[in-house]
Amino acid sequence: MPLFKEPKTLRDLLSERDVEQVHEYLHEEPFQEALSEMYSKEGQSQALKRIRETINHALVVALYGYETFPKPRGNWLHRQILEVLTAAAPGKFSDRDMAKLFDYFCPCGTGHNREAMKKFRWRLARAHG
Protein backbone atom coordinates (compact mmCIF):
# COMPACT_ATOMS: atom_id res chain seq x y z
CA MET A 1 0.00 0.00 0.00
CA PRO A 2 1.48 3.37 -1.02
CA LEU A 3 2.13 5.92 1.68
CA PHE A 4 0.66 9.34 1.01
CA LYS A 5 2.12 12.53 2.31
CA GLU A 6 -0.27 14.36 4.63
CA PRO A 7 -1.63 17.44 2.84
CA LYS A 8 -0.74 20.81 4.35
CA THR A 9 -2.47 23.04 1.80
CA LEU A 10 -5.37 22.80 -0.63
CA ARG A 11 -2.82 22.67 -3.45
CA ASP A 12 -1.52 19.40 -1.96
CA LEU A 13 -4.98 17.89 -2.62
CA LEU A 14 -5.90 19.58 -5.89
CA SER A 15 -3.71 20.59 -8.75
CA GLU A 16 -4.82 23.47 -10.96
CA ARG A 17 -4.77 21.12 -13.93
CA ASP A 18 -7.14 18.66 -12.24
CA VAL A 19 -9.54 21.47 -11.34
CA GLU A 20 -9.46 22.73 -14.95
CA GLN A 21 -10.15 19.24 -16.33
CA VAL A 22 -13.02 18.59 -13.93
CA HIS A 23 -14.55 21.98 -14.74
CA GLU A 24 -14.32 21.41 -18.48
CA TYR A 25 -15.91 17.96 -18.13
CA LEU A 26 -18.77 19.22 -15.97
CA HIS A 27 -19.48 22.54 -17.65
CA GLU A 28 -17.98 22.26 -21.14
CA GLU A 29 -16.17 25.54 -20.80
CA PRO A 30 -12.64 26.50 -19.81
CA PHE A 31 -12.24 27.11 -16.07
CA GLN A 32 -10.80 30.53 -16.92
CA GLU A 33 -14.20 31.59 -18.31
CA ALA A 34 -15.87 30.93 -14.98
CA LEU A 35 -13.12 32.80 -13.15
CA SER A 36 -13.50 35.78 -15.49
CA GLU A 37 -17.27 35.70 -15.07
CA MET A 38 -16.84 36.05 -11.31
CA TYR A 39 -16.12 39.75 -11.86
CA SER A 40 -19.05 40.48 -14.16
CA LYS A 41 -22.27 41.69 -12.58
CA GLU A 42 -24.54 39.51 -14.73
CA GLY A 43 -22.95 36.10 -14.25
CA GLN A 44 -21.30 36.27 -10.86
CA SER A 45 -23.67 34.00 -8.93
CA GLN A 46 -23.83 31.41 -11.73
CA ALA A 47 -20.04 31.42 -12.07
CA LEU A 48 -19.64 30.95 -8.32
CA LYS A 49 -22.10 28.05 -8.42
CA ARG A 50 -20.14 26.34 -11.25
CA ILE A 51 -16.80 26.88 -9.49
CA ARG A 52 -18.18 25.50 -6.22
CA GLU A 53 -19.50 22.42 -8.03
CA THR A 54 -16.15 21.98 -9.77
CA ILE A 55 -14.18 22.13 -6.51
CA ASN A 56 -16.54 19.64 -4.82
CA HIS A 57 -16.21 17.14 -7.68
CA ALA A 58 -12.46 17.72 -8.01
CA LEU A 59 -11.94 16.85 -4.34
CA VAL A 60 -13.86 13.58 -4.74
CA VAL A 61 -11.95 12.76 -7.93
CA ALA A 62 -8.62 13.52 -6.22
CA LEU A 63 -9.46 11.15 -3.37
CA TYR A 64 -11.28 8.36 -5.20
CA GLY A 65 -10.43 8.65 -8.90
CA TYR A 66 -12.11 9.58 -12.16
CA GLU A 67 -14.59 6.71 -11.79
CA THR A 68 -16.52 8.95 -9.40
CA PHE A 69 -17.39 11.44 -12.14
CA PRO A 70 -21.10 11.82 -12.75
CA LYS A 71 -22.33 10.50 -16.09
CA PRO A 72 -22.09 13.09 -18.86
CA ARG A 73 -25.16 15.24 -19.32
CA GLY A 74 -26.99 15.36 -22.62
CA ASN A 75 -25.01 14.63 -25.73
CA TRP A 76 -21.60 15.25 -24.20
CA LEU A 77 -19.96 12.41 -26.12
CA HIS A 78 -21.56 13.52 -29.37
CA ARG A 79 -20.35 17.10 -28.85
CA GLN A 80 -16.81 15.86 -28.26
CA ILE A 81 -16.82 13.72 -31.41
CA LEU A 82 -18.31 16.56 -33.47
CA GLU A 83 -15.65 18.94 -32.17
CA VAL A 84 -12.85 16.58 -33.24
CA LEU A 85 -14.34 15.88 -36.66
CA THR A 86 -15.02 19.55 -37.32
CA ALA A 87 -11.49 20.50 -36.26
CA ALA A 88 -10.03 17.81 -38.54
CA ALA A 89 -11.88 19.02 -41.64
CA PRO A 90 -13.92 22.20 -41.08
CA GLY A 91 -16.91 22.39 -43.42
CA LYS A 92 -15.87 19.29 -45.36
CA PHE A 93 -18.54 16.84 -44.19
CA SER A 94 -22.19 16.86 -45.18
CA ASP A 95 -24.82 15.80 -42.66
CA ARG A 96 -24.96 12.38 -44.33
CA ASP A 97 -21.15 12.02 -44.14
CA MET A 98 -21.16 13.11 -40.52
CA ALA A 99 -23.83 10.51 -39.66
CA LYS A 100 -21.66 7.78 -41.22
CA LEU A 101 -18.62 8.98 -39.28
CA PHE A 102 -20.62 9.00 -36.05
CA ASP A 103 -21.84 5.47 -36.72
CA TYR A 104 -18.21 4.44 -37.09
CA PHE A 105 -16.66 6.36 -34.15
CA CYS A 106 -19.45 6.76 -31.59
CA PRO A 107 -19.80 3.97 -29.01
CA CYS A 108 -23.28 5.10 -27.84
CA GLY A 109 -25.02 2.28 -29.73
CA THR A 110 -27.58 4.58 -31.33
CA GLY A 111 -27.89 4.77 -35.09
CA HIS A 112 -27.09 8.22 -36.42
CA ASN A 113 -28.99 9.59 -39.41
CA ARG A 114 -28.75 12.67 -41.62
CA GLU A 115 -31.78 14.44 -40.15
CA ALA A 116 -30.66 13.99 -36.55
CA MET A 117 -27.14 15.12 -37.45
CA LYS A 118 -28.47 18.22 -39.20
CA LYS A 119 -30.57 19.14 -36.14
CA PHE A 120 -27.68 18.43 -33.75
CA ARG A 121 -25.23 20.55 -35.75
CA TRP A 122 -27.77 23.39 -36.03
CA ARG A 123 -28.40 23.39 -32.26
CA LEU A 124 -24.69 23.49 -31.48
CA ALA A 125 -24.04 26.26 -33.99
CA ARG A 126 -26.89 28.29 -32.48
CA ALA A 127 -25.65 27.71 -28.92
CA HIS A 128 -22.07 28.74 -29.75
CA GLY A 129 -22.78 31.30 -32.42
Sorted by sequence, the CB contacts under 8 Å of residue 91 that are 6+ apart come out as none
* pLDDT value of position 48: 93
d(CA 34, CA 9): 23
Domain parsing of the chain, residue ranges? 11-68, 76-128
Can you tell me the distance from the alpha carbon of 8 to that of 1, in angstroms, rounded to the nearest whole number? Answer: 21
Q: Identify the pLDDT of residue 1.
A: 47
Give the model's pLDDT for residue 73.
63
Average pLDDT, the chain: 84
CA distances (Å), origin 47, targets 19, 31, 42, 74, 96 = 14, 10, 10, 20, 38
Angle, helices 76-88 vs 95-105, to 10°: value is: 120
This model's pTM is above 0.75: no
pLDDT digits (tens, 9 = 90+) for 21-69: 899 888 878 899 999 998 887 878 899 999 999 999 999 988 888 888 7
